[in-house]
Structure 1
């Protein structure tokens, strides 16, 4: 399939659209989105098109449209749009003649640029260049620059630009209209308020022109949910016009504005924009690029020497988006499944964070990882409310989380059933409960890698103990087996609903309870005062004996004679059908062209890694024979219809020595957003998959694991890679790994303390540098 995605070999920092196709707008709006963790902005063009989705989001500003819908990130009034007319003809690349077209996202600097020559239907020739950024240096600031040049005679130009609040989330309008102001005849400001959560949004914008103001006629307009200015001017042949549009966004949800009156926020926003205007677009862009280098690229870099240059681009692309989407500035917020790049999944947080994205931050930006886990701590009230509503104790984390006080935010109804024609009920919010142990797993992984005792004592212990308390109350006694079961759940494989004893759920619940028992017994000896404090809060003196009794009797699915671990009580008895044609289809979910979910529920078909994810996360529990037997059984039955799945399979394949298969899966995973399917990313990028690209590289080919608190480094490079250089942080030590086909060199760059690790069964201690032979 021909696409316009171009990955130039001469640079690993550029994503390019090499020709314009209006049918592919959604793809580029997502993969070229801009942001800084505070705000995210889809890469819509300045001019409007029929298929565009013009989204701007600010993290944490959730709102509920009405009682029938769940809360979602609202689409803010648009600041990007500019209506440009030349001799009364609107800029529209579906009309006239385009040449020399290029749109590029510079991953290193965060700059989105677009250039082309356009001949209007009326015959005027012009060149255009657009540049845009969302500042990584100043979280509230964004900038645009537009250059227009006449190539054939004098032309009349009309520009309409300002703030457009006539935006919706697929039809749902989340804002009440506020005040509009024009300050000093140049600074436009509009306030809006979310209808249910009552969050004030203040947007301010200003334009600067390169030609004298006397040559420009202008008129301010204030209409329903809009404030904008009309500009009229004339350009001579060969004359160039530059327009700089600088804007700021502030909200009453921002930490810095807590308790402030709206008028104070408005004044702060205007003052900041005036300061930005004095610096100008170019200086602001340079400062933002410098912040990208300082905050992202300089920290724990990854360099791949590969025969395929796209591998390095994929890593840079993943890291760029991980920082665009992550609200590092505020621990009351977390990462949405589509980041801040689209309306998919409504901006909600899933288990994707703990299992697929948190590891990147834990090992490279531990301060950000801590903030993401503090979000879970702040959400304990909602987790308690969910558990209590279901008749359980402790903390049952929501399957989908939004604002920290919202609790469960999973929609109840989803896509149509192709057989019944009715909406399908989304059971995940009710019975996909492994999220609770996933959160505990994320806490434990962070503490093991970082050694953050303060977090552990103030928040981490409580999360693990509280989630274990939930699991103990969730277990159901079975008289026939004389075991505790976990019935009526959905595991990671969401094609199997209402199953009993899902292996992933049962194993992780047991691990969660065992971890809590270990904490209780450790604190009993080392910190009895802290234990007493936690016990008073969580009633641990009563719960601890229950843990001891129930964990010993919790049913854990064991490998059968073929060493296959049953995914649940009935999976292995279900019908098997040929899946090759579905697995080879470049479109996801084509299985449901032929079957509905009820039918798939009764077949040995797995949506995404389930048992294999369990083996990947808890490899110490399973022998090599069991790992390989389950790989051979489940991999052919796994559709990878979730973007979460491929990275797990790639890393596990590397562990099993299937290096080239692992690399094939790596390439397939990197193509989810960057590949030839031009509709895969319409609703936003695949956040967990991007975290998975880092996982495949560092955990898979780099061989890094934390096993029971011990660091293991077992690298294995694919044939296409001559060298892999990456860094991680381990207990405040920055470790740089250089991997070739022959050796691993581990360098302790800051030498906070000696670090002990294992590699290929041997133990090493690195003070400054250690070389390990891989032959």
Structure 2
């Protein structure tokens, strides 16, 4: 666990430069805008340990897997988001001495991620080997107001010398991914062009043939005079250079305004021309105006999604950091895009789409963004239904059964570990649950007729064929699976997977009845399209729902993770030596698989989804049993524990797990932040507060709240949208108040008491139990 980030309500602050922490900081200070993003690499040369990363959403490469064997149905490639051209590049040469923080003596270093305005800034003093000292101030951002634009301002001051500063501002496309097989590079140069102050570089990905035009306009000003620039060019590289004879105490200002345009959005033939127009217009606006637009756009984001915590600066910083990263990773403008587990902050997991989006991110976007944002995440899956059916066919499933991929860019499965690819099939259930969650929250049942029912039918058909009848148990069973807890592979009857499968079958029948009643013509069209045999298939699905097997331990009174779980030696996490943690970095995989230790508790994940089916005593027994065996080495684990602990009124545990999920990356709990941030689990942090501490649920088409106030806080508040109504919710030690900021009235429940909240008015519920 690291503890070098300064506590601040609106900023992530690093003071003093430690090269050993640089890759962690590159992740923490990452910026993006939903269309593109980058790690917090330095603009100037850095020869120390670094993970360079610039990413353009939706642009990927089908990298050949390194696995030395192949089985039928195995994916042929592993898709990965590509490290794209580096547009921020500056080479600063001071009379033969290169500015490089790895070789210079660095002082007065400060790096700040301003979450309120969406900017990354640095200030430092560097002494070169020659003894010459410069001071640098830099600020940059990826614009969410115009999401194909980015800009930076870099200021160099000569502190103790008169002399020449040779500046080269460049775009470098000669890059590769850190995890590239055999250091392969994935880009070929198509064309480049240079104007007086502008540079354009068009690169094409191998195989997938995406074209990306990276454009940059450079302005260098010294003594209020714009400097003449000379072109610099080589393969996959274009830039501008100038030599400034700087006087002691004087400053050189470098401005770069850049654009990244993809052939996903423009014809390849028009790409260069469009980039020129984009940059020219941005240059007319100027850096300051672009920054003003950025600040205003972020103000709107925070109005929709901010959570205010009074009395706990570290908790406040943490939740805003998580919300900030979610908002700059996905904006919902493009239904072809989704949320990678690392967003724009690193290459791990390939930047692809996982089940995390449906299970964890949907609730955040439902409450904090226009309805279309969450809907687009679901439409993304609908448009890949044909591919999901193809994926299932490769594994031997028939008649329209759909298996959504564990990892994907275009709907094809591209995960390269067999125990995940073939067995972690619970992802199908998460997608079905997201459809249920969306319609439950928005009331938009028309979505079922338009998109959802077709997806549910494909998923239901998969579950029907994936189970088998056990003559021994006289139940339906599911063999050879891996649950979310990936510390147990190829097991039988994972409770969570079985539960999710049966629920999916039941929900599909319910959804079909809704569509049949509300839109009979559309329903008949779906029957025709899917060739659904309504009576026989529904009967088969109902039989499975009624006769599904769920492993259970009578002695402990708990649902079992899977068959045979109690055959494992039952050791508790509290008895694990500290030097053995984290297990995935200290133990062999064989030892992990044979242990009872859990990466994330599958049973508790299921009880979170379907909490209304279980009384508090059942939940408590399972929570105590599994919490004591869970090492939380999945970033998705602590938030679910926090929410369930809150439901059980275990406020101490709820808060402990909240801090763990909220500061997972800021404090580098699992020693893996340098690979990139855990973007999808950040949505779980939001859930821990809104669903955990505030106890928000949707029941019978109404919002309900059962909140408590953590002892470390004076109060907390948040804004949410629900069915066209915007609410501000505040919880203090003695009251809950809810303000309706919309034109329509809304009925809500607070501690099971109904209130009607008129437009523009506030309701207050006084509760002694909040004290």
TM-score normalised by the shorter chain: which range applies? over 0.9
Q: 2:613 aligns to what?
A: 621
- 1:316-355 matches, cutoff 5 A: 316-355=320-359
Tell me how far apart the structure 2 counterparts of residues 2 and 711 of structure 1 sit (CA, whole Å): 39
Partner of 1:593: 586
Tell me which residue corresponds to 1:205: 216
Does the 8 Å contact 2:151/2:257 carry over to 1? yes
SS at match of 2:714: strand
Partners of 1:563 and 1:547 lie apart in 2 by 28
**Matched residue of 1:152: which SS?**
coil
Structure-to-structure mapping, 1:655-670, within 5 angstroms: 655-670=647-662
Give 1:272 shift.
Answer: 0.9
Q: Please, which of 270, 274, 277 is the counterpart of residue 271 of structure 1?
A: 277
CA drift of 1:561 comes to 4.2
Tell me: CA distance 1:470–1:729, structure 2 relative to 1, closer, same or farther (3 Å): same
CA deviation after TM superposition for structure 1 residue 559, in Å: 6.0
- 8 Å contact kept, 2:27–2:345: yes
Select between 59-68 and 363-372 the one with higher mean Cα deviation.
Answer: 59-68
What CA deviation, in whole Å up to 9, does each residue of 1:294-346 have, x standing for no partner?
2x11114321112x211111111111100111152210111001111110100
Q: C-alpha distance in 2, partners of 1:556/1:212?
A: 76
**130, 142, 145: which is aligned to 2:153?**
145
Structure 2 residue 117 is matched with structure 1 residue 109: yes
Output one character per residue of 1:229-249: Cα deviation in whole Å (capped at 9) or x when no partner.
Answer: 232121111211111011111
Structure 1 residue 129: Cα displacement: 0.5
Preserved CA contact (<8 Å) 2:485 2:602: yes
Q: Does the 8 Å CA contact 1:64/1:174 hold for their aligned counterparts?
A: no
Q: Residue 692 of structure 1 aligns to a residue in which SS?
A: helix
Distance across 2 between alignment mates of 1:357 and 1:583 = 34
1:304 to 290, 306, 309: 309
Q: CA deviation at 1:427?
A: 1.1
- Taking a change above 3 Å as real, the CA distance of residues 65 and 604 of structure 1, as seen in their structure-2 partners, is closer
The partner residue of 2:381 within 370, 376, 385 is 376
Q: CA shift at 1:716, angstroms? A: 1.2
User: Equivalents in 1 of 2:393, 2:616: separation in Å?
Assistant: 41
Shift of 1:142: 0.7
Give the paired residue count.
Answer: 747
Question: What is the TM-score of this pair, normalised by structure 1?
Answer: 0.93
Q: CA deviation at 1:751?
A: 4.3
Cα distance in 1 between the residues matched to 2:670 and 2:284: 41
Kindly indicate whether residue 548 of structure 2 is the aligned counterpart of residue 554 of structure 1: yes
Counterpart residue number, 1:248: 259
Q: Does the aligned pair in 2 maintain the 1:140–1:250 contact within 8 Å?
A: yes
**Structure 1 CA distance, aligned partners of 2:743 and 2:449?**
26
1:591 Cα offset (Å): 5.4
Q: Measured at CA, do residues 583 and 36 of structure 1 come closer, stay the same or move farther in structure 2, by a change above 3 Å? A: farther
Classify 1:676/1:499 alpha carbon distance in 2 versus 1 (closer, same or farther; 3 Å). Answer: closer
Q: By how many angstroms is 1:530 displaced?
A: 2.1
Q: 1:603 to 1:396 in 2, by over 3 A?
A: farther
Q: Deviations along 1:371-411, whole A, 9 cap, x unmatched?
A: 11111111111211111112224454434333234x11112
The within-5 A match list for 1:751-770 is: 751-757=743-749, 759-767=750-758, 768-770=761-763
Pairwise CA distance, 1:349: 1.2
2:7 paired residue number: 7
1:60-209 correspondence runs (5 A): 60-66=58-64, 69-170=77-178, 171-183=183-195, 185-209=196-220
Q: Are 1:51 and 2:49 an aligned pair? A: yes
**Aligned with 2:674: secondary structure?**
coil
Residues 471-513 of structure 1: per-residue CA shift (max 9 Å, x gap) = 1222211111221111111111111111111111111111111
Distance 1:765 1:513, change over 3 A: farther
Residues 269-313 of structure 1: CA deviation (Å, up to 9, x unaligned):
01110111112111111111111112x11114321112x211111
In terms of mean alpha carbon deviation, does 100-109 or 121-130 score higher?
121-130
Structure 1 CA distance for aligned equivalents of residues 610 and 357 of structure 2? 18
Structure 1 position 684 matched with structure 2 position 676: yes
| Displacement of 1:736 | 2.1
Instruction: Determine helix, strand or coil for the equivalent of 1:339.
Output: coil
Q: Could you say what the CA RMSD is over the residues aligned between the two structures, in angstroms?
A: 2.1
Q: Contact 1:304–1:725 at 8 Å: present in 2 too?
A: yes
Q: 1:213 to 1:198 in 2, by over 3 A?
A: farther
Gaps of 5+ in 2: 67-76
* Contact 1:398/1:409, CA 8 A, preserved across alignment: no
Matched, 1:411 2:416: yes
8 Å contact kept, 2:330–2:339 = yes
